[in-house]
Amino acid sequence: MRPLVNPSHQASNQAESSWKAILECAAMEVFEMMAGVHLEPNPEPGEEPSGEQTAMVGMAGALCGMITLRCSQEMSKRFASLMLGEAAAANPTTARDALGELCNMVAGNFKGKINALKDQCMLSVPTVISGEDYSMDTADPNEGITIAFTCDGNLVWVCLIVQP
């Protein structure tokens, strides 16, 4: 497996192997603190990432790639409702933007926990795709991390995709 971090930044493979746990922790913290919900890691989701809402935040610098957060429309509305109140979440644009902000915080929290990335990796503004009929062609799937969570019986996906 190719090093996930630019070799010039001296990140060790050992550190990279811990990234899955760090990403898992980063996502759980964000949802717990900002929406008051517990994400339960689901090591055997039994399906590929799915859901009508996908938020993406690009990363550039020591690590080039993106972090995505994917869930159903219903769950994205629920998260928005918990973060902003029911009235605000009724607006589909607001619900989408809230998912984008959650993804942005997951990315920021993740990189903030890794010394090799903390000061050397920039984040893009979030983008949100609505709909399921799309494919994302980026790096080799081996150069990424996919984590499934269960939240009240619904799947929530967090992926780190690293550009070669």
Binding residues (CB under 8 A) for another protein: these are 29-30, 33-34, 83-85, 88, 94, 97-98, 100-101, 104-105, 107-109, 111-113, 117-119, 123, 125
Task: Identify which of residues 21 and 33 has a Cβ nearer to another protein in the complex.
Answer: 33
Q: Which residues contact 58 (CB under 8 A, 6 or more apart)?
A: 65, 66, 123, 124
Least CB distance to another protein at residue 108 (A)? 3
* 24 versus 29: smaller Cβ distance to another protein: 29
Which of residues 68 and 104 has its CB atom nearest to another protein in the complex? 104
**Closest distance between another protein and the C-beta of residue 133, in Å?**
26
Minimum CB distance to another protein smaller for 68 or for 109: 109
The answer to whether the beta carbons of residues 110 and 36 sit under 8 Å apart is no
Q: How far apart are CA 139 and CA 164, in angstroms?
A: 6
What are the Cα distances from residue 59, in Å, to 106, 117, 123, 124, 146? 12, 10, 5, 6, 16
- Shortest distance in whole angstroms from residue 118 CB to another protein: 4
d(CA 19, CA 30): 16
> Residue 8 carries which DSSP code?
G
Q: How far is the CB of 11 from another protein (least distance, A)?
A: 15
